[in-house]
Amino acid sequence: MNPAERISELTEKLNYYNQRYYMDSVSEISDQDFDLLLKQLESLENQYPDLKLPESPTHRVGGTITKNFASVEHRYPMLSLANTYNEQELIDFDERVKKGLNGEAYEYICELKFDGISLSMTYENSIFVRGVTRGDGVRGDDITNNVKTIKTLPLKVAAPRGRSFEIRGEGFLPYSSFEKMNSDAEAAGEESYANARNAASGSFKLQDSAEVARRGLDAYVYQFLSDEEIFTTHEESLIALKNLGFNVSPTWQKCTDIQSVIEYIKLWDEKRYSLPMATDGIVIKLNSIAQRAELGYTAKSPRWAIAYKYKAESKPAILKAVTYQVGRTGAITPVAELDNDKLNGKGIHLSGTTVKRASLHNANEIERLDLRIGDTVFVEKGGEIIPKVTAVDVSKRDMLSTQEIVYPTTCPECGGQLSRKEGEANHYCTNEKGCPPQIRGRIEHFIHRKAMNIDSLGEGKIELLYDKGIVNDITDLYDLTYDKLFGLEKVTEDELTGKIRKIGFKEKTVQNILEGIEKSKQAPFKQVLFGIGIRYVGATVAEKLASFFKNIDNIKNADYETLRTAPEIGDKIAQSIVEYFQNEENQIFIERLRLAGLQFSAQDEVKEIESDQLTGKTFLYTGTFVNFEREALEQKIEANGGKVVSGVSGKLDFLIVGEKPGASKIQKAQKLNVKMISEEEFMAMLG
Ligand code: IVH
């Protein structure tokens, strides 16, 4: 047998044993023999590196070090799910589904909601090629080498060649691995992680994949995606994934009505604690893929699925103190510092995490709860990140040992005056230009992806630049030079893990920062307008303003009434814009940015208008087209005054039918008598 054949044979054998062991819990070979074969393979691969196969089990032991994970765009955005917390909300969801499907019969698949981190895994020509984190849903980090360490994830599958597809799933650290990891950390005098989810998230982001392999991460898969429509139901896809060797949790169940969904929820409320990892709810998904397409998506989540979150655990804690945080806008957030008498400074244990602080939102909330320092309060963690104080246990109150909470009148960060506008719940620090968190926050906002998109800078680097007195204001970014940046460094400690992190500006970092800043001068006006941080002017409002007013001078010169004539600009926004431009310092700030070369007019990005031939008409399309990509088709419709809608309804004027159209859209259009036109007919409408 030649080396290539032997390598291939060993790879196949080891993968088979691996699969049997981790997926079927069957050991067909002793650990010793397995290691022996693995060693043989390793040594052959070392001798003939070119012959190493992409699916080789030796990839799983790690060994690569990744300094910076590349950021990659998701082929299909990673959306989140809408949440429900009670039966009524579920029934409402079911009603919406029923209505959206116009009385067609439908089924649900219920799954557990695994509490880990979502992963996207891409396969090309049967081989696992890429593992990416969710990131912001549009872009994530490429953590392929770390994902390869998941033993239950097949590195090669028996799928037809030439077919690429993506698998979504939840990466997690089983409780057993989590406990081992924490006890190892404690033995080594390192800090332990607060919960398995944080530990999983930290582990997936480690630079050293060999260490990742030691941690023992796992993943459940729950979604199949590809350009072709391969499955007609979710159920089919789960069964096929299982047969291909993926780790599909067997806990899913098909339900034909919402009552059986509720029974599933009740069943798993208790039973889920017997599982090897954390779950925080269940996910209910429409089974038919065609029906999913009919219901479509909102901006954030599918209309065909929903998450039911199990009730948050509530625990008593002692309110030791109230501290005050200052945000980017100067808004003050009171924070409850919590403890349990027995835990002395260690917080309380809640739903598997250690909680030391909880948001109290604002002064009204403190009043509403009638809080006093020293009170016993109830704290709840709703699966979301920030815990809440829900009530005071008045029976435990002792007026002598508890003290009134006196809301501060000056800013805890800078000593500036606090003020509260009529009708607003929050107090604000008025020292806008001199309050450090406000300054840093404004810079962080400015570099945001939807603003100037300077991703070579981040919170830590900005803090460093601010602390060293190099960047005191957004405009200072445009005066940065190589010499000012090179060699700066800072050491920080991660609050949660206690790990030391060093930020140092070496040559490459400095170059990246300077390039990012230079590139930001080309960012379109709408992004600049969002970036300068006028209160209430979010990304969408900035876009509306930019396309309506075209440039900054028009906005600056517009009075309140004129501003109100712009689409979707209400009283609060118009008022805030007027106030912003009345302030001379803001005007100087904008002039400085203009001098730096930023875009303050929208010439290039005004949506092209070709005609008004489609005005008043609504369109939807299905399938693929000869002359247009989807986006170009939408642009064409809009450029000619038409509107693109998200689903087939009786109100739809035209369904444009391309090649390989979606069957459900066609059926629905036929049923509702919607006019269907071909791509050519659409072109003819435009003359
Ligand atoms: S399906 C369009 N199924 O929950 C979203 N998600 O808020 C499709 N999750 O980011 C997701 N268990 O990380 C789905 N059985 C399951 C899940 C699940 C956990 C996570 C996932 C997602 C988040 C949704």
pLDDT at position 384 is 46
Please tell me the distance between residue 80's alpha carbon and the centre of ligand 1 in angstroms: 7
pLDDT at position 496 is 45
Q: Tell me: the pLDDT tens digits for 452-463?
A: 999 899 888 898
Q: Do domains 436-520 and 525-596 have the same CATH topology?
A: yes
Q: What is the pTM of this model?
A: 0.55
Q: Tell me: the pLDDT tens digits for 153-186?
A: 999 998 776 789 999 999 999 988 887 887 776 5
Q: Which of 78, 79, 109, 114 has most ligand 1 atoms within 8 Å of CB, for mutation?
A: 114
Average pLDDT over residues 555-570: 90
170: Cα within 13 Å, side-chain hemisphere: 21
Single-letter amino acid code for the residue at 484: K
Instruction: Return d(Cα 482, Cα 368) in angstroms, integer.
Output: 53
pLDDT at position 65 is 80
CATH H-level, domain 72-309: superfamily:
DNA ligase/mRNA capping enzyme (3.30.470.30)
Kindly report the CATH number that applies to the domain delimited by 525-596.
1.10.150.20
Average pLDDT over residues 313-335: 90
**Shortest-distance atom of ligand 1 to CA 113:** 12
Give the burial class of 133: count Cβ atoms within 10 A of its Cβ; 0-12 exposed, 13-18 middle, 19 or more buried. buried
pLDDT at position 647 is 81
| Fold assignment, 319-419 | OB fold (Dihydrolipoamide Acetyltransferase, E2P) (2.40.50)
Please tell me the distance between residue 251's alpha carbon and the centre of ligand 1 in angstroms: 15
**Shortest-distance atom of ligand 1 to CA 79:** 2
The residue nearest atom 21 of ligand 1, judged by CA position, is 118
Structure tokens at 169: 């799933």
pLDDT at position 221 is 98
Q: Which of 112, 222, 308 has most ligand 1 atoms within 8 Å of CB, for mutation?
A: 222
Instruction: Return d(Cα 654, Cα 517) in angstroms, integer.
Output: 45
Instruction: Return d(Cα 672, Cα 520) in angstroms, integer.
Output: 48
| Fold assignment, 3-61 | Helix Hairpins (1.10.287)
> How crowded is residue 393: how many other Cβ atoms within 10 Å of its Cβ?
12
**Shortest-distance atom of ligand 1 to CA 223:** 1
Single-letter amino acid code for the residue at 188: A
Q: What is the SS3 assignment for 61?
A: helix
Average pLDDT over residues 92-114: 96
Q: Annotated catalytic residue: which of 52, 98, 99, 113?
A: 113
Please tell me the distance between residue 197's alpha carbon and the centre of ligand 1 in angstroms: 14
**Shortest-distance atom of ligand 1 to CA 118:** 13
Structure tokens at 43: 């040594």
113 catalytic residue (yes or no): yes
Q: What is the mean pLDDT of the chain?
A: 89
* Between 502 and 139, residue with greater pLDDT: 139
Answer yes or no: CATH 3.90.105.10 is held by domain 436-520: no
Cα–Cα distances in angstroms (integers) from residue 77 to residues 140, 502, 658, in the given order: 10, 32, 23
Length in residues, the chain: 687
CATH architecture entry for 618-685:
3-Layer(aba) Sandwich (3.40)
Residue 136's Cα: distance from chain center in Å? 4
The residue nearest atom 23 of ligand 1, judged by CA position, is 80
Q: Tell me: the pLDDT tens digits for 510-534?
A: 999 999 999 999 999 999 999 999 9
Q: Which residues line ligand 1 (CB under 6 A)?
A: 79-81, 111, 113-114, 118, 134, 170, 222-223, 283, 302, 307
Average pLDDT over residues 257-285: 91
Please tell me the distance between residue 167's alpha carbon and the centre of ligand 1 in angstroms: 12
pLDDT exceeds 70 at position 402: yes
Q: Which of 194-198, 200-204, 284-288 has the lowest mean pLDDT?
A: 194-198
H or E element, residue 556: helix 552-557
Predicted confidence band of residue 351 (pLDDT cuts 50, 70, 90)? low
Please tell me the distance between residue 383's alpha carbon and the centre of ligand 1 in angstroms: 14
Cα–Cα distances in angstroms (integers) from residue 215 to residues 185, 211, 386, 655, in the given order: 11, 6, 27, 52
pLDDT at position 609 is 78
Cα–Cα distances in angstroms (integers) from residue 560 to residues 289, 534, 544, 552, in the given order: 49, 15, 16, 15
Please tell me the distance between residue 252's alpha carbon and the centre of ligand 1 in angstroms: 13
The residue nearest atom 2 of ligand 1, judged by CA position, is 79
The domains of the chain are located at 3-61, 72-309, 319-419, 436-520, 525-596, 618-685
* 158 and 244 Cβ atoms separated by less than 8 Å: yes
**Shortest-distance atom of ligand 1 to CA 81:** 7
pLDDT at position 66 is 78
